[in-house]
Amino acid sequence: MRTVIAGGHGRIALRLEQLLSSRGDQVAGLIRKPEQAGALLAAGAEPVICDLESAAVADVSRHLADADAVVFAAGAGPGSGEARKDSMDRAGAELFTEAAERVGVRRYLMLSSMGADREPPPETDPVFAAYLRAKAAADADLRARDRLEWTILRPGRLTDDPGTGLVRLAPRTGRSEIPRDDVAAVLLALLDEPRTAGLTLELVSGDTPVTEAVSAAAA
């Protein structure tokens, strides 16, 4: 299996790349900066230079042409303003989705955000509100493409605590936190469970082993 990950240098993406490569899968990560390549190589992934904020859909399509699955795990990141939330978290995601559809990739995982399914309250920080709206728009664009077997994953507050392998995965979980290790493990399990196609799932720490939680969600 070959998986291509947008945002290949992200903290969840690097964990997922390590998991994929360690079991013998091929994995490539799209990155913006050549200096990020070393981290991907160390994780067992092929670094591919591709800036989703400036690339044409034909360029992105070329990088996805031999993929069995794709994962969108990119984002403008901390310190970016409202404009980049739109140009990366929305437009970058939509470009990646369009490219996947054009080349016939079926399996698509979207790493989204809890809270992206509702309009942010008036008191929300403007930049965070722009982020949530961008994620909501990207999710809506993905849902509208019936040629993709998509799953949208919306984790709670991310931490760098060691993963426990125990999660709660459901359409609604309530707000809580989740280690990035466990998010990567759930993404891996979702890639292996095509029956989760068409589902939008929230994810927080819980008491169910990852594979059992994914199987239950699929059922």
Residue 131 designated active-site: yes
Q: Tell which phi-psi region holds residue 120, choosing left (phi > 0), alpha (psi between -120 and 50) or beta.
A: beta
The span from the CA of 73 to the CA of 111, in Å, is 5
The span from the CA of 84 to the CA of 105, in Å, is 27
Catalytic pick among 72, 96, 108, 131: 131
The span from the CA of 207 to the CA of 36, in Å, is 35
Q: Strand, coil or helix: what is 112? A: coil
The span from the CA of 91 to the CA of 157, in Å, is 23
Per DSSP, 87 falls in state I
Strands 46-49 and 157-159: unpaired
> Would you please indicate which residues are annotated as catalytic (active-site) residues?
131
